[in-house]
Structure 1
Amino acid sequence: MRKGLEANPSSVTLWKTAIELEDAEDARVLLGVAVEKVPHSVEMWLALARLETYENARKVLNRARRALPAERAVWIAAAKLEEAHGQESGIVDKIVDKAVRSLDKHDAVVSRAQWLKEAEAAESAGASLTAAAVVRHTVGLGVDPEDRFRTWSDDAAGARERGKVATARAILAVALSAFPTKRALWTQAVELEKSDGTRQSLDEVLAAASERLPRTEIFWLVRAKERWISGDIEGAREVLGQAFEANPDSEPVWLAAAKLEWETGEAERARVLLRRARDKAPTARVYMKSALLERENGNFDDALDLVEEGIMNYPDFAKLHMMGGQICSEDLEKSKYSLDRARKFYQRGLTSCPKNAVLWTLASQLEERAPSYDRNGGGGVTKARSLLELARLKNPCTPELWVEAVRLERRAGNDKLASALMARALQECPSSGLLLAENIATAPRPEQKSRSADAIKRCPDDPRVISAVANLFASDRKYEKARKWFERAVALDPDLGDSWARYYAFEMEVESLAGGKNKDEAKKDVVQKRCISSEPKHGELWCAVAKAMANRRKSTGDKLDLV
């Protein structure tokens, strides 16, 4: 080998082979000779630097830069060396800056995409400061001014998808310095810190976003919520106080401040805040939350007064009419007086909001239960049926009204009439996932498969249909198939609590059939954690439980158990 090197001292291949045959110390000596003989070999310089002490490695890389001023790998190795030995970011930044200028001076063509790859490679090697410095000095190369916002946003999203958080963070920092008032960029930065950063880094980004965009309430609210979740109640109050100064007439800020006090047991403080909100930023939702606070605290008369005041100011806000009717029918003592008051709330609501299907449904259900309030007060199934017929006449092609009509007949024991109504409903609303799922669930066992196939053809991406099919597989003990369909349902709409509840119930059943604790218990827990993370807000079954007064303060996990 030595004879070969004597004959061919400029052969990189021979030098590599010779070095591989030596131990670390002899390899270092041999590399020292090799870089003299083949100074154009980047690999030799970098290998020698890796074997040297910090001071000697700096000298080696300085020599390498003089020998190869247009080789970016040498410059980046020098930056990574300084970072690895605890040097501040300024020194690393200075080296990368020199690198870019040196390569430009020597006409070395390095594209922006290549530089970003170098940044991601540096991050993978644990050199996040180097990665950030590379991004700062190269991410704008060759980008037209009018394309910067879109290009940088896409670059950051791509880096995040590849798991390169530091690179994505650095790209967003550059973008935000150029576009400090772009809400979309701040939102992207917040999402990055929320999923991949620390609590402190998230708070810092939210603080900067709030400072740059003080009239954008969402950043104030998210920052306050994060502090509240971490147990810093005073910190959350401080953030909301700053939000008030920037947004004195903002409904979301007032309601967030009231909710903070409400949820932490400070009902009187919440009451004062809501009173001030009604004076300074009155909206229908402020009145609704004010009434809800009084209802939760058992002050039903005060709650009804607030509902009445809210309806006077906002007669077309359906939820106020609903709440008034529910307080009278559910919270007050059952009597002809409470029945009549509830009817009046619903009647006024239907006059002002004739297109609201939920109001029609509540009014119908009240009439169905009317005999339990007053035997001579009229109502019953006949009155409920006529109300729903009127509702469908005024609101054609409304699946919710058809489903309620079908369920009313089933509750009354009129199964044939219910089946006839379902057939009419599917003719009028052939692609309603709600109706198709109900049709599967209520079908006789032999017909469920054919109805499922028909429903999937009509609504292949409706989570309610997918959940109904999953339930069918579960009842046939085809657990793996059922699990796949439940997974599909929660993926289609993570905000639909009913899908999560059915999936969770399925995993609980599988666990109980297996005789207690086993590997499927972990699956049940995973479903619960994913549901908590998704924080579902919608769903027929979910809302019925989650919005019940007794469950309002319960966590998402507790509500999942109850559903």
Structure 2
Amino acid sequence: MERPSFLDQSPPPGYVAGVGRGATGFSTRGGKYINHKLPKRLQGNITNEIPIEDTTDEEEAEEVFAGIEKKLTSKRMHKTSNLSTTSRDPISDIPHQFADLKRSLATVSEEEWLHIPEAGDTTRRNKRNRMEEQQHRKTYAAPDSLISKSVDLVKLTEEREKILARKLDSGFDDLKRQTDSGSVGIIDKLESLITDVSNITPTSNDDIKKTRLILQSYRRSEPRKPDAWLASIKLEDNARNFRLAKNLAEEGCSNCPKSVDLWLENIRLHCADLHRCKVLVTSAIRFNPQSVALWLKGVELENEALNKYRVVRKALQEMPYSEELWKLAIKYEKDKVEGLKILERAVAFVPKSLSLWKALINIQEPAAAKVSLKKARKYLPNDADLCVLDCQLEEMSNPTLLEADLSAILHNYISHLKNNKVQLLSLKQWLEKARKLEDEEKYKLTFMTLLSVILAEYPLEECVNELKSFEPCRTKLYCFKTLLINHQTDLNLWNIFIEACDLLDNKDEMYTTFDGILFYGSHPSIIKKNQDLILKYGKEICRDSQDSEKALSIFNKALYILPESSKLLSAKFKLLCTLGRFDEAEILATNILEKNSVDDPEGVEKFHYYYASLLRYNGQNEKAIQFLSESCLPHFPKNYKFYLQLGQIYIDTKDYKTSREIYLSGTKELPDSPLLWIYLARTDEIYLKNTIRARSELDTAILKNPTLDILLITKAQMESRLENYQQAELIVDQGLMKFPKSPGLWVERIRLLGNKRASQRKTIFQDALKKTGNDHAILLEIGMSLYSESQYQASLKWFERAVRKNPRYGDSWIWLFRCMKK
């Protein structure tokens, strides 16, 4: 830019720098070239010439202005008359105050003159600049002089350029992602606004208008993106504005002819006009000839099967590798021969389609099917369905086929997978494949062989867990049956199998499995290994069919093989007693005792006890006493049950003293048997009314058996019956100090609470639950305590907890029933 010419000229007369910009704070009075306006009385002496050394006029003007200023000053100072007249005039003192600043004006540069603020600038410029500088921290590039001389500046520059290029690329990518995500976000937002047609009510018209405007602007900015068109169409469709929706669909197809979704949406909107739909499908296929969805829509629009077939053939000319189109061609082909040709052509174009190969093999003759199967296994060597299909073909073509032949096919397939390090299908997938075969009788051998071979490839635990969660069906039962053949003595597996049979209500399968495993071949070793299963089998028959005679025949069949089995003999004896056939039971027991034909010494002792119980039940007390005194106690002096049984018979006959003597002799023979001590003390207390002796006997029992808490419980119960509650509470407290985790002692402690405060009862409840680990007896006792206070709702919860804790404890069920009845 050229320098202005006026800057090189001298200033005009009377020019004062800064006056035009409102500069204040200094005066030019006394200057030589000042042309101020003068009073009229002095204007006559003024000439056009500028005096150089005329000081008279200047002095005269100063005197005039001095007089004026003095007069003004006297007016302002009128109210402050006490002010000294000798003080300096403030206005006349202004030039003296700025004298030093005037002298320094000569050093002011041109740039500083230009930055002098205007007189009216009251915007806190300095403070504003300081705040702006804090907000926008200035950064300075370090000069090259700071870099070490050993640094290669050329290489450093190249690296800087690479970093800059990466930053620019990442910036563009971020911008693109933000744009895309923004678009997706808009579409998602719009989708959420218009998903439910029922939400479009007169109150939501404003939202529809706003959404329509947003989509309109989106379509204008991105007319080639089908998302905006689809969202707009959906909005208008849900708003019942069908005409606008159709117009938008037409316009969208014009702008985005490659969008299959737009064409399909347009066809859907014109579904009432079949001809229009066909025209649209034709146009869409012209732009998208490789779209299977459009070809399928074209097939759907045709009414006649022949026309559908023609459309499918045209589609196959465009897309011969589409599996779905080949399936349609097979579906609409009525001629079996032509269908076979189409399938052969289809597997040639799509050789890795399992469904096409299976369809071809299923309609071919067995010989041709085997050839096709070999070709299929070349393309799909690891497919399990082809292996199963191979077994089916073998079974269908060879009626005399053995299970071993099919097992060989399956084992070869599994070996092939292992050699090629291909993972075998999961057990659930194999079970699903077998599930499809269970209803086809012609493939029964394939079904059974497949399950037998596959179950052997997985651990027993995995098989059991998978079968538990599998749906109830014949496949599940046969799997359990197969596992039980190899694990005959696994009672847990038998229980799961029985539960599965119960769910399917298929008892015949259960009985067949029991018979097949237990009595197949009638070999004694099989029965001997599975005596518990025979007992379970008989129990299940009695439980389910109430066919006790059949159960008895099972025991007889087993006893024919193992006549000296104590378990089987005991089961038969109990069953005869259950059937009320006491004479037969007595004969059985007599024969066993006379012949001593039991393989287990414990079984002999058990039958002595059974026979004594039978005599007592039949009312033959004298015979029972004789049998116990002469046969049982002399031969089995260490069995406390015989003492108890003999003592109870004497109590039934009201011979209490003899009963006490029997119990006393039992305690001398077996001092570590707590029941004998308990019955001895109870006889003295209840029948002989000698509480002192009963208490003494319990004390003796406690001394001889210090580790048994049941004796302390019995003593506390006796004191409670005698209404010595303080003594009973003392016994319980002493017992808890020795057995803090005893549920029986805590039960007695809760029973002795009586009418104590609720806070104390709650503390005892908490301590009992904590010490015993929520024992079922404690839960039941707490419920009973609340029940006695008529708190039925609260007690019901405790009874339910007790039942869940131990479902086999009958008292909990009884109290639960009573509480629910309330």
Residue 348 of structure 1 deviates from its aligned partner by 1.9
Identity among equivalent pairs (%):
20
Mapped to 2, the partners of 1:342 and 1:260 lie a distance apart of 31
Corresponding residue of 1:161: 468
SS state at 1:385 partner: helix
Quickly say closer, same or farther: Cα 1:388–1:124, change in 2 above 3 A. Answer: farther
- Asked whether 1:240 is paired with 2:555, we answer yes
Corresponding residue of 2:539: 225
SS state at 2:528 partner: coil
Deviates more, 1:244-253 or 1:22-31: 22-31
Residue 415 of structure 1 deviates from its aligned partner by 1.2
Residue 264 of structure 1 deviates from its aligned partner by 1.4
Residue 263 of structure 1 deviates from its aligned partner by 1.8
Mapped to 2, the partners of 1:176 and 1:314 lie a distance apart of 41
Quickly say closer, same or farther: Cα 1:23–1:205, change in 2 above 3 A. Answer: closer
Mapped to 2, the partners of 1:443 and 1:263 lie a distance apart of 44
Corresponding residue of 1:137: 453
Quickly say closer, same or farther: Cα 1:96–1:286, change in 2 above 3 A. Answer: closer
Contact 1:328 1:342 in 2 (8 A): yes
Mapped to 2, the partners of 1:91 and 1:477 lie a distance apart of 72
Amino acid at match of 1:314: F
Residue 411 of structure 1 deviates from its aligned partner by 1.0
Corresponding residue of 1:368: 685
Find 1:358's aligned residue among 670, 675, 684: 675
> C-alpha deviations, 1:295-318, integer Å up to 9, x for none?
111111112122222111111111
Find 2:611's aligned residue among 285, 290, 293: 290
Corresponding residue of 1:196: 500
Find 1:464's aligned residue among 754, 777, 800: 777
Residue 5 of structure 1 deviates from its aligned partner by 4.3
Find 2:428's aligned residue among 77, 94, 117: 117
Residue 454 of structure 1 deviates from its aligned partner by 0.7
- Give the CA RMSD over aligned residues: 3.9
Matches within 5 A, 1:310-325: 310-325=632-647
Corresponding residue of 2:139: none
Corresponding residue of 1:305: 626
Mapped to 2, the partners of 1:249 and 1:136 lie a distance apart of 36
Corresponding residue of 2:731: 421
Corresponding residue of 1:66: 374
Mapped to 2, the partners of 1:137 and 1:305 lie a distance apart of 63
Quickly say closer, same or farther: Cα 1:226–1:4, change in 2 above 3 A. Answer: closer
Corresponding residue of 1:206: 514
Residue 319 of structure 1 deviates from its aligned partner by 1.2
Residue 485 of structure 1 deviates from its aligned partner by 4.7
Mapped to 2, the partners of 1:475 and 1:20 lie a distance apart of 75
Corresponding residue of 1:559: none
Quickly say closer, same or farther: Cα 1:468–1:482, change in 2 above 3 A. Answer: same
SS state at 1:65 partner: helix
Corresponding residue of 2:720: 410
Residue 494 of structure 1 deviates from its aligned partner by 3.6
Mapped to 2, the partners of 1:313 and 1:124 lie a distance apart of 61
Q: Matched residue pairs, number?
A: 473
Residue 424 of structure 1 deviates from its aligned partner by 1.0
TM-score (norm 1): 0.72
Quickly say closer, same or farther: Cα 1:140–1:109, change in 2 above 3 A. Answer: farther
Residue 246 of structure 1 deviates from its aligned partner by 3.7
> C-alpha deviations, 1:352-410, integer Å up to 9, x for none?
22222222222221111124xxxxxxx43222222211111111132221221111111
Corresponding residue of 1:278: 593
Matches within 5 A, 1:322-341: 322-329=644-651, 331-332=652-653, 334=654, 338-341=655-658
Matches within 5 A, 1:522-533: none
Corresponding residue of 1:499: 812
> C-alpha deviations, 1:115-161, integer Å up to 9, x for none?
633332135546385554223223444xxxxxxxxx64324422332
Mapped to 1, the partners of 2:797 and 2:389 lie a distance apart of 48
Quickly say closer, same or farther: Cα 1:57–1:262, change in 2 above 3 A. Answer: farther
Mapped to 2, the partners of 1:120 and 1:493 lie a distance apart of 36
> C-alpha deviations, 1:514-554, integer Å up to 9, x for none?
xxxxxxxxxxxxxxxxxxxxxxxxxxxxxxxxxxxxxxxxx
TM-score (norm 2): 0.51
SS state at 1:444 partner: coil
Mapped to 2, the partners of 1:242 and 1:236 lie a distance apart of 10
Quickly say closer, same or farther: Cα 1:192–1:61, change in 2 above 3 A. Answer: farther
Consecutive unaligned residues in structure 1, runs of 5 or more: 142-150, 372-378, 514-563
Find 1:449's aligned residue among 745, 759, 762: 762
Consecutive unaligned residues in structure 2, runs of 5 or more: 1-294, 296-311
Q: Whose relative contact order is higher, 1 or 2, with alpha carbons under 8 Å and at least 6 apart?
A: 1
Residue 79 of structure 1 deviates from its aligned partner by 6.3
Mapped to 2, the partners of 1:442 and 1:24 lie a distance apart of 84
Corresponding residue of 2:489: 184
Residue 100 of structure 1 deviates from its aligned partner by 4.6
Quickly say closer, same or farther: Cα 1:82–1:298, change in 2 above 3 A. Answer: farther
Amino acid at match of 2:350: V
Larger Rg: 2
Amino acid at match of 1:138: I
Contact 1:156 1:172 in 2 (8 A): no
Deviates more, 1:198-207 or 1:304-313: 198-207
Corresponding residue of 1:550: none
Find 2:350's aligned residue among 38, 48, 60: 38
- Asked whether 1:385 is paired with 2:385, we answer no
Quickly say closer, same or farther: Cα 1:195–1:174, change in 2 above 3 A. Answer: closer
Deviates more, 1:441-450 or 1:121-130: 121-130
Contact 2:435 2:475 in 1 (8 A): no
Find 1:260's aligned residue among 566, 575, 579: 575
Mapped to 1, the partners of 2:762 and 2:394 lie a distance apart of 67
Quickly say closer, same or farther: Cα 1:215–1:19, change in 2 above 3 A. Answer: same
Corresponding residue of 1:537: none
Contact 2:316 2:326 in 1 (8 A): no
Deviates more, 1:345-354 or 1:187-196: 187-196
Contact 2:787 2:795 in 1 (8 A): yes
SS state at 2:320 partner: coil
Contact 1:97 1:137 in 2 (8 A): no
Amino acid at match of 2:729: S
Contact 2:747 2:777 in 1 (8 A): yes
Amino acid at match of 1:154: E
Mapped to 1, the partners of 2:333 and 2:773 lie a distance apart of 68
Residue 260 of structure 1 deviates from its aligned partner by 2.1
Quickly say closer, same or farther: Cα 1:164–1:209, change in 2 above 3 A. Answer: farther
SS state at 2:808 partner: coil
Residue 289 of structure 1 deviates from its aligned partner by 0.9
Amino acid at match of 2:353: S
SS state at 2:527 partner: coil
Find 1:395's aligned residue among 689, 705, 721: 705
